[in-house]
Structure 1
């Protein structure tokens, strides 16, 4: 072990030992799947209710109050389908509902009666109904398959077949098979999807996004990151598309809101849908992330946001149109930079390399293990050499469609056009009629966040990036445009001016009313962007067999890697997060991110006012907050020892993306906050979790209730949740 790692390990060990003497409780990492909850001693950890009240496969439990909404987590807080989640999870729907005349995005929105609730466009609710381990069925079907690409394709097909079989048995559900351990464990999940979701209450943006990018991924935090929605179904109780005739959904379970909140060291737990973690991967994977994925993506998004922010200053409509994309980019950008800092800060690559070296020594020191896994580490090394050799081009190809809206529009039109042209003449019209509506919806979503000036500038950046690639990583579509050794930037400028000037794809009205008018109109149309996209798609298709081969090898290697690591450490692992329902638990607790620095676990309204005095626009807040604070008008929502309303709080739970909006519950299973972020050092949670630096951040329910009652006069919501103002 090198000196740096040794010093970190000793410091962590000493701090853990010292805190243990003070009576602090510690726990290992863990985003526990439903199937693993029974293995945890939650009662010993501090849970006061019975574990089967948290999850009961044979009855109703807290799990039944959980929903996946728009890629985030939410929870039912009334028997009338009322959902609480994060402000940033509702952001895109609020943006789509906003206009310069009704700027809900900045001014907030309150529906005081059901008839005023507005459609949350693009959002659905997904509720986990049940799960079933199907690993034996899937792995048994590929037991004798040696070709890695064929093996992976058969696994993928079997996953789809099992899901389709489940949906055929019960047409009311949506089924998915999720890979819990890569190449090893597979679980069938059955979901109910609610299609009609409506906005009920979204606070002013200066509350819901207080601190902006200055505070994003940072503690102390004072963001009121909460929003309320409502789920609706048809009068028959079944999921139905948005209709004024629909009625509020009646959940099996709704959470009780505890307006008393928490105190430091209280036991707390979260149920939610964490996105993806990668803790059971070798050093090569972390190194690839640190060298290629994280820096490239964060730098690209930084450029995109600077471009869009400058263009958004032109007028309010453009600012609103680009807001969601800017917010998403900024969140990813800062997250990735935090991960980079974390990987370097704890020297994670070196630590993983040492773990892998110890694993290799174990393999070579055991005859039986060596016979089965003797080539494992060498094969992983060889595969990642190939992956790293194509990294720049692969990342470019993965980002081009997200970066340039018109290229994404061209892709969707080209795919539709190709499928249409493959139909027999007699069936072209029926295919067109059956599918053009879906195409228009996809294109409409792209146009909603599109601005031609932003597209031109970002597209130029992408083109010049590709121009600079090494000979073995060329993008063929770009090479057709420029001549090596010539003035590449001038040629790119000329191409963009000509192509963007001539294309009609930039005109949504033309695309919808003329281009997509008939099978003939779309088949006859062509322009430079469609031709460019065809070239990009062709290269992606040409590279796919090799990508499939590598993915197949990786799938098998990672399954073997986990298997042999379990033998080495003589223990099992909690599977990496994969957007399926998980539980994590811990304690309300501060931490020391640096020498001689302690971060207490609560922030208050006083901190909002202090930050507001800095003059930073990210810290502007509604004047009523200061007026109420000066009068100490806290209602029943103050924390006595602080003599203030707690705004945000910290806890040492294991969370990641997707846990946004997750309900934070106390030992009695009552809602006391809403999870929305992690401290900057904890952005590395995707790769590693540690008690010393991993802290998650939630908005305290007392601040939610105080703001709803005192600022937005939404006492009707408190009443619906059973809370006295």
Structure 2
């Protein structure tokens, strides 16, 4: 068979087997992928994805470095998920004005609420800079030299684009496990204001009960606005004089709906996937990362949940923290379940066996890629990785005391004159509105006990001896001693570095002991980690070479990606899952709120969703209003808030979750099971209209 015929056959196979898998970069989207999109119902020209002024990518934003969003009006309105705006909503909430509980709508521009340390970022351009790096000898350099080379090129490119527009900057990221590097030009807007949010009862309806599950009825959206310099329409620090931003392009919400098989596309910033990773890496992910993460977070969340239920003030402080912890607690459990039930490790081993045969026959990377070496390297670090996960989940950002102690031990929060060491001191700003002392103490106490029960004794910080000898193994008494005797938690206290009081402070010693274990765990690991990274890069390169006739996408790395597919259900327990949910289904759950607190909602919500007629928000095909719907788009963390488009580039929803049955998709995409769950844009608009009476926003969007 001629090579050209082989290529056509390969692409036909790609189109039928892998049509919906992939997180594709836009500037170099393979023509084969674009043709497949057209065959499934995409109607816009190729250039309207990335190149033209009205390209869809010009409406999509990186939302604050952890989510995605979409501009939906000529005055800079941005839709993202409720859980992406969660911390902003929480930070504006008080017991007297609880926007988490009651929702929020700014009746005028002047009422829109500014947010500290939030931003949206537009991707303006992207290109492959691998040739430039290789011309400088990148492949022949060591790791530190390579990092310096990338940093130098990044700074040079940023300087270059800033001569054109001083508000631009360039990031260079590795793709294909570091075999390629792309440079991306970004423009960041830091004046971002909260405009509208539904109550948490709707924005997080179903809570942890329904998280990662189908069917879903969550109205997971919030609305922000980008503000800009009034003279340039460009980025500007917050000012009362700033005005709404006027974007190049914005997405138009569609009321037309969809059917099974309708084209669907997401565009956003998927955070991290590991689909090129070896079978040995998957074993490590399951046993040394996911299992410890789920175990420790389960212990911590039990304490948090108890205190949050007892106090509204505590709940407001910890709503966001709990949600963040619980999200990947459940994800870790679900991923491990899928790894085992689908048999992913054996599938990977079978593929690697074929890859080794191909390598033997071609000699590609002979003497460099070694599967026995890769297996040996992972085995050498497994126990340390497992222990490090217990260490991170116990001490790192889990409670305020540990956080402060570690900041001291690593030299953070140092104040005073730069040239006078004797007058340097540590102090902490009063952030008591962000944590609760009783909860903080109990979390630390139970986590200290849990850590000891799950790690080898050689990785116990020295203070465990003090717990045994001075406090007779009583963790609560030890924690009380820390809080009482240490200056770490004393408002306005100053710890002068290297003084007698500093050295004697139990919080200082606690942080030093914790960091000593961290350094011990990392001792000698650099070379092993570098070797694993090199072998995984070779493995990816071999896969790309062996399958050179097929298009390949890179693993997610929080750069903009496109995913396409169809509105599509899946088999759920041997039965069709259905591809959308209805008002009747959410009302039925609300009726069970007495038994499942995650289904509680305000009476007005039940009343609105019990309506017989939903007017223009009713789907013309089914005669019902759709709440949430399923597509087989390829998503992961970071895609939260990603716009979901129809074939005409119109907005039909916001992606907010994957399904429990495919939580292993970060390492293996299973087209039979993998689904993206989105909130229907008509449900969003219905809530803005009938509950929020946000008619000025609807008019602004042309509705």
What TM-score do you get using the length of structure 1 for normalisation? 0.87
**Distance in 2 between the 1:663 and 1:157 partners?**
36
Which of 79-88 and 706-715 deviates more?
A: 706-715
Where do 5+ consecutive residues of structure 1 fail to align?
A: 1-16, 146-150
CA contact (8 A) 2:172 2:182 kept: yes
Residue among 524, 538, 563 paired with 1:546:
524
CA contact (8 A) 2:446 2:475 kept: no
Within 5 Å, which residues of 2 pair with 1:47-66?
47-56=42-51, 59-66=53-60
Deviation for aligned residue 1:466: 3.7
CA contact (8 A) 1:32 1:584 kept: yes
Deviation for aligned residue 1:216: 1.0
Deviation for aligned residue 1:231: 0.8
Within 5 Å, which residues of 2 pair with 1:164-203?
164-169=155-160, 170=162, 171-203=166-198
Deviation for aligned residue 1:407: 1.4
Residue 163 of structure 1: aligned partner: 154
**Distance in 2 between the 1:471 and 1:606 partners?**
53
Deviation for aligned residue 1:492: 3.7
Deviation for aligned residue 1:501: 1.7
* Structure 1 residues 629 and 91: alpha-carbon distance in aligned structure 2, compared to 1, 3 A threshold: closer
RMSD: 2.9
Residue 581 of structure 2: aligned partner: 603
Residue 4 of structure 2: aligned partner: none
CA contact (8 A) 1:467 1:488 kept: no
Matched, 1:654 2:616: no
Deviation for aligned residue 1:673: 0.7
Where do 5+ consecutive residues of structure 2 fail to align?
A: 1-12
**Distance in 2 between the 1:476 and 1:207 partners?**
44
User: Counterpart of 2:42 in 1: which secondary structure?
Assistant: coil
Within 5 Å, which residues of 2 pair with 1:524-543?
527-541=505-519, 543=521
Matched, 1:67 2:52: no
Deviation for aligned residue 1:274: 0.4
**Distance in 1 between the 2:152 and 2:615 partners?**
56
* Structure 1 residues 299 and 389: alpha-carbon distance in aligned structure 2, compared to 1, 3 A threshold: closer
Within 5 Å, which residues of 2 pair with 1:421-432?
423-425=418-420
Matched, 1:634 2:630: no
Matched, 1:687 2:667: yes
**Distance in 2 between the 1:640 and 1:489 partners?**
70
Within 5 Å, which residues of 2 pair with 1:3-22?
none
**Distance in 1 between the 2:457 and 2:538 partners?**
31
Residue 230 of structure 1: aligned partner: 225
Residue 479 of structure 2: aligned partner: 496
Matched, 1:293 2:289: yes
Residue 573 of structure 1: aligned partner: 552
CA contact (8 A) 2:56 2:649 kept: yes
Deviation for aligned residue 1:538: 3.7
What TM-score do you get using the length of structure 2 for normalisation? 0.90
Deviation per residue, 1:371-407 (Å, 9 max, x gap): 344x510111111011113133211333321222211
Deviation for aligned residue 1:520: 10
**Distance in 2 between the 1:720 and 1:188 partners?**
35
Matched, 1:405 2:412: no
**Distance in 1 between the 2:169 and 2:567 partners?**
36
* Structure 1 residues 448 and 257: alpha-carbon distance in aligned structure 2, compared to 1, 3 A threshold: same
* Structure 1 residues 204 and 340: alpha-carbon distance in aligned structure 2, compared to 1, 3 A threshold: same
Deviation per residue, 1:289-308 (Å, 9 max, x gap): 11121121112112211111
**Distance in 1 between the 2:267 and 2:670 partners?**
20
Matched, 1:388 2:382: yes
User: Counterpart of 2:615 in 1: which secondary structure?
Assistant: coil
CA contact (8 A) 1:481 1:491 kept: no
More helix by share: 1
Residue among 25, 48, 69 paired with 1:33:
25
User: Counterpart of 1:636 in 2: which secondary structure?
Assistant: helix
Deviation per residue, 1:502-528 (Å, 9 max, x gap): 123224xx2xx4428x99999968621
Deviation per residue, 1:426-479 (Å, 9 max, x gap): x998x99xxx9xx96xx66x7554222222222233323443456585134445
User: Counterpart of 1:586 in 2: which secondary structure?
Assistant: strand
* Structure 1 residues 362 and 489: alpha-carbon distance in aligned structure 2, compared to 1, 3 A threshold: farther
Deviation per residue, 1:613-663 (Å, 9 max, x gap): 223222223333443455424121101343321100000000111110011
Deviation for aligned residue 1:546: 2.2
**Distance in 1 between the 2:467 and 2:392 partners?**
21
Within 5 Å, which residues of 2 pair with 1:479-518?
479=464, 481=466, 490=473, 492-507=475-490, 510=491, 513-515=492-494
Deviation for aligned residue 1:235: 2.4
Which of 601-610 and 170-179 deviates more?
A: 170-179
CA contact (8 A) 2:256 2:620 kept: no
Deviation for aligned residue 1:118: 0.8
CA contact (8 A) 1:464 1:489 kept: no
User: Counterpart of 2:240 in 1: which secondary structure?
Assistant: coil
**Distance in 2 between the 1:181 and 1:543 partners?**
29
Deviation per residue, 1:205-242 (Å, 9 max, x gap): 22111111111111111110011100112323332222
* Structure 1 residues 624 and 416: alpha-carbon distance in aligned structure 2, compared to 1, 3 A threshold: same
**Distance in 2 between the 1:628 and 1:543 partners?**
56
CA contact (8 A) 1:393 1:475 kept: no
CA contact (8 A) 1:152 1:551 kept: no
Deviation per residue, 1:555-597 (Å, 9 max, x gap): 21111111122233444521000100000000011110332x1
